[in-house]
């Protein structure tokens, strides 16, 4: 089933596992991998006047840093002859990944498991929890 | 200055010593405060007598500058066809982000520009300033304050549209905007480069003065008064030691603006909105507790507005106090907010104008009116108190410990306002002297010194100085607004025709 495997990637160990899992699946099925990196951002946060002035400059810097961060992962996928696309976006991670999933044909979401059973994790939930509850497509959580 | 530093050192040494030295300490501190007072008071009264040149009107002194602001606000209101009422809904939609392109996420949003500009205006004007207006002008001053606030929305709309339209965008992606830029660039477009440049320089000079006065000294002064109040008034350890409080504020401020320590700024920016919510909540509680008096209070306000009963100068006295405090609190027509609003990411300058018109509404029509209602309802107006002490007493009538919350709010509001104004002042300063690290640092150091001075002076000279410098900014700014208001009108026409043609989309509606 050639479709799109959307992988949330931020270079953490969990996201590396998710990417490796997706790569294996893609090799077997011929699916495309869509690497997504989200920069957490709220348009309703408060910034100082100085931060407002520099925002556009900082955003440009953040975007290029993010592109550098995902570049090695993309190259290694390409080296394995896997079709790769990527996206760097600002906003709420789970919300954006769902939005992207709706736009891709036959999409599935693959993410790494980050949490354990600690109280904080249970209260705050993780991105995985939010995705499982809200995703319009199947979600695979890689332990 | 040397004498001041010497006294300061001596006091620091004597601090923490035996009780016997307390008397000497208090005496020494009083001398420093008195010395600062007597040194600065003549300067500030000279400046304010020029700016507040008054004419005798129906037996009351009427400062011409107040008329200048109110007439301008009325003219903009009519010229733009009551834009503040017609486009209020559109302004809310813009702030909500309905028209923001999702691909621009990560850039400065309308909400953020508004919030930052608000944190510069919502502050002591809303707490202490209103108390001054109501104690001098009676409850009727509230009515005129609301009228001035509503009209001021049109001034703010005009200046913030121009601020975005004529801002400087530098190759590295940073932006600089404000009256300095629309005065010089906008006038040049109309073949008046010379006079535009002169007005821009006058504005920048006044802005530096205003940032140091109302944006700094007034803030540290009122924060100090409130802290002394709740820590025991006359017997407080801080009583007569205004310089010490000022020094603490100056150090905290210096750490943020000079040291670039973002954490304090971040904490303040997070807490200030919370404080604003707590403040409004507390006001509502007090109003609810006295719900039987609401009708009476509104009666007092309307009655006072048209009869001026018991107020020096009658109706005109109430009107002047109301107008003055509204202008001082929401800064419409002053030009300061235009500096903060210029950073928004938008292709349409007019959208920021619409968003900015919410500012005087939130600041004056909502928050200031709350304070005035609380003071009127609590019946503390007859106590003879003024400034933040009056507001504090009004809160204490219902919740005895509330002055402590108010104190925290006052100190934080003061601090965030000082942070905003240090930025406005710096922008004006670098416009005058060029952008360089040394000039940057020099201004910030001067700014912090005046924080100490502000806390050391009595209310009178501080209020005179801060009022006069802030109001002085309105002279070049409003001249500029008159000349450039046709630009704003054509911007508005172009924007609405694009919106009608579907070139500008409502993204939220498109999604659902």
Residue B13 lies in a domain: no
- Report yes or no: A103 at the B interface, CB cutoff 8 Å: no
What is the C-alpha separation between B165 and B158, in angstroms, rounded? 11
Note if the pTM is more than 0.80.
yes
The shortest CB-CB distance from B340 to any of A49, A89, A91 is to: A49
For residue B270, list chain A residues with Cβ-Cβ distance below 8 A.
Answer: 46
Residue B70 lies in a domain: yes
The shortest CB-CB distance from A43 to any of B100, B176, B420 is to: B100
What is the CATH classification number for the domain harbouring A64?
3.40.50.620
- Read out DSSP for B104-159? GTTSPPHHHHHHHHHHHHSSHIIIIIHHHHHHHH-THHHHHHHHHHHHHHHHHHHH
The arithmetic mean of pLDDT across residues B104-120, rounded, is: 84
Question: How are beta strands A107-112 and A139-142 bridged, if at all?
Answer: parallel
Contact A53 B175 (CB under 8 A): yes
Look at residues B450, B406, B375 and name the one whose alpha carbon lies nearest to residue B123: B406
What's the complex ipTM?
0.80
- Backbone φ, ψ for residue B460 (5° rounding): -50, -65
Q: Coil, strand, or helix at residue B367?
A: helix
Mutate to test the interface with A, among B96, B99, B173, B268 (most CBs of A within 10 A): B173
The Cα of B401 is separated from the nearest Cα of chain A by a number of Å equal to: 29
In terms of DSSP H, where are the helices of B310-436? 314-330, 336-341, 349-356, 358-360, 369-378, 387-396, 402-433
Give residue A99's domain range.
4-142
Model pLDDT for residues B287-339, shown as the tens digit of each residue: 898 889 888 988 888 888 888 666 766 788 888 888 888 877 888 889 988 99
- Report yes or no: B97 at the A interface, CB cutoff 8 Å: yes
Model pLDDT for residues B256-283, shown as the tens digit of each residue: 888 776 666 677 777 777 888 888 888 8
Token representation of residue B510: 């498109």
Sign of CA dihedral A52, A54, A56, A59: negative
The Cα of B493 is separated from the nearest Cα of chain A by a number of Å equal to: 28
Residue B15 lies in a domain: no
Contact A49 B175 (CB under 8 A): no
The Cα of B421 is separated from the nearest Cα of chain A by a number of Å equal to: 9
Model pLDDT for residues A92-143, shown as the tens digit of each residue: 888 888 888 888 888 888 888 776 555 555 555 567 777 888 888 888 888 8
What is the C-alpha separation between B34 and B458, in angstroms, rounded? 9
Residue B142 lies in a domain: yes
Q: How would you write B449-483 as a 3-class SS string?
A: HHHHHHHHCCHHHHHHHHHHHHHHHHHHHHHHHHH
Give me the number of domains chain B comprises: 1
Give residue B486's domain range.
2-6+22-511
What is the CATH classification number for the domain harbouring B281?
1.20.1740.10
Tell me which DSSP letter residue A107 carries: E
The shortest CB-CB distance from A43 to any of B105, B172, B420 is to: B105
pLDDT of B5 reads: 37
List, in order, residues 6 or more apart from B462 with CB less than 8 Å away: B44, B213, B217, B218, B221, B454
- Report yes or no: A117 at the B interface, CB cutoff 8 Å: no
Token representation of residue B482: 């008159």
Give me the number of domains chain A comprises: 1
């Amino acid at each position: 089933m050639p479709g799109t495997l959307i992988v949330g990637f931020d270079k953490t160990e969990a996201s590396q596992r998710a990417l490796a899992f997706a790569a294996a699946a893609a090799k077997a099925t011929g699916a495309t991998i869509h690497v997504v990196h989200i920069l957490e951002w709220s348009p309703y946060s408060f910034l100082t006047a100085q931060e407002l002035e520099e925002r556009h400059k900082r955003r440009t810097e953040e975007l290029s840093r993010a592109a550098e961060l995902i570049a090695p992962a993309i190259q290694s996928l390409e080296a394995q002859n896997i079709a790769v696309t990527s996206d760097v976006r600002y906003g709420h991670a789970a919300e954006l990944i769902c939005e992207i999933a709706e736009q891709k044909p036959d999409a599935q979401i693959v993410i790494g498991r980050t949490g354990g059973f600690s109280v904080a994790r249970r209260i705050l939930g993780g991105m995985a929890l939010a995705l499982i509850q809200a995703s319009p497509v199947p979600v695979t959580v890689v332990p | 200055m040397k004498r001041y530093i010497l006294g300061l050192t001596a006091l620091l040494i004597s601090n923490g010593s035996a009780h016997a030295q307390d008397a000497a300490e208090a005496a020494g501190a009083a001398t420093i405060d008195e010395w600062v007072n007597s040194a600065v008071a003549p300067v500030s009264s000279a400046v304010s007598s020029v700016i507040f040149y008054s004419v005798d009107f129906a037996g009351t002194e009427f400062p011409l500058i107040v008329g200048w602001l109110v007439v301008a606000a009325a003219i903009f209101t009519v010229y733009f066809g009551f834009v503040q009422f017609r486009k209020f809904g559109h302004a809310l939609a813009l702030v909500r982000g309905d028209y923001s392109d999702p691909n621009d996420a990560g850039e400065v949003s309308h909400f953020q520009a508004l919030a930052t500009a608000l944190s510069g205006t919502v502050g002591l004007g809303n707490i202490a300033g209103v108390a001054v207006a109501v104690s001098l002008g009676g409850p009727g001053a509230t009515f005129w304050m609301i009228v001035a606030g509503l009209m001021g929305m049109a001034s703010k709309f005009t200046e913030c549209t121009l601020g975005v339209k004529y801002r400087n965008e530098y190759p590295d992606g940073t932006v600089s905007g404000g009256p300095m830029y629309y005065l010089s660039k906008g006038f040049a477009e109309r073949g008046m480069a010379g006079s535009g440049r002169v007005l821009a320089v006058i504005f920048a000079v006044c802005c530096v003065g205003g940032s140091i006065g109302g944006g700094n000294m007034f803030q540290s002064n009122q924060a100090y008064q409130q802290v002394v109040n709740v820590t025991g008034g006359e017997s407080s350890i801080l009583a007569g030691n205004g310089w010490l409080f000022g020094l603490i504020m100056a150090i905290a401020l210096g750490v943020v603006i000079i040291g670039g320590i973002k954490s304090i700024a971040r904490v303040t920016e997070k807490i200030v909105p919370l404080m604003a919510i707590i403040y409004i909540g507390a006001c509502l509680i007090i109003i609810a507790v006295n719900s039987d008096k609401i009708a009476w209070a509104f009666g007092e306000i309307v009655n006072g507005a048209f009869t001026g009963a018991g107020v020096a100068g009658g109706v005109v006295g109430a009107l002047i106090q109301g107008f003055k405090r509204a202008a001082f609190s929401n800064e419409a027509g002053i030009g300061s907010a235009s500096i903060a609003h210029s950073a928004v990411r938008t292709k349409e300058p007019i959208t920021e104008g619409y968003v900015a018109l919410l500012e005087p509404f939130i600041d004056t029509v909502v928050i200031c009116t709350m304070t005035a209602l609380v003071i009127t309802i609590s019946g503390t107006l007859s106590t003879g108190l003024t400034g933040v002490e009056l507001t504090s007493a009004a809160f204490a009538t219902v919740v005895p410990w509330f002055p402590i919350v108010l104190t925290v709010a006052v100190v934080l509001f003061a601090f965030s306002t000082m942070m905003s104004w240090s930025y406005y002042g710096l922008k004006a300063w670098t416009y005058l002297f060029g952008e360089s690290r040394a000039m940057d640092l020099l201004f910030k150091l001067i700014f912090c010194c005046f924080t100490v001075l502000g806390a050391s002076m009595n209310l009178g000279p501080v209020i005179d100085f801060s009022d006069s410098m802030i109001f002085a900014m309105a002279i070049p700014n409003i001249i500029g607004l008159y000349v450039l208001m046709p630009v704003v009108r054509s911007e508005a026409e172009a924007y609405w025709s694009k919106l009608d043609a579907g070139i500008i989309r409502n993204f939220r509606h498109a999604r659902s």
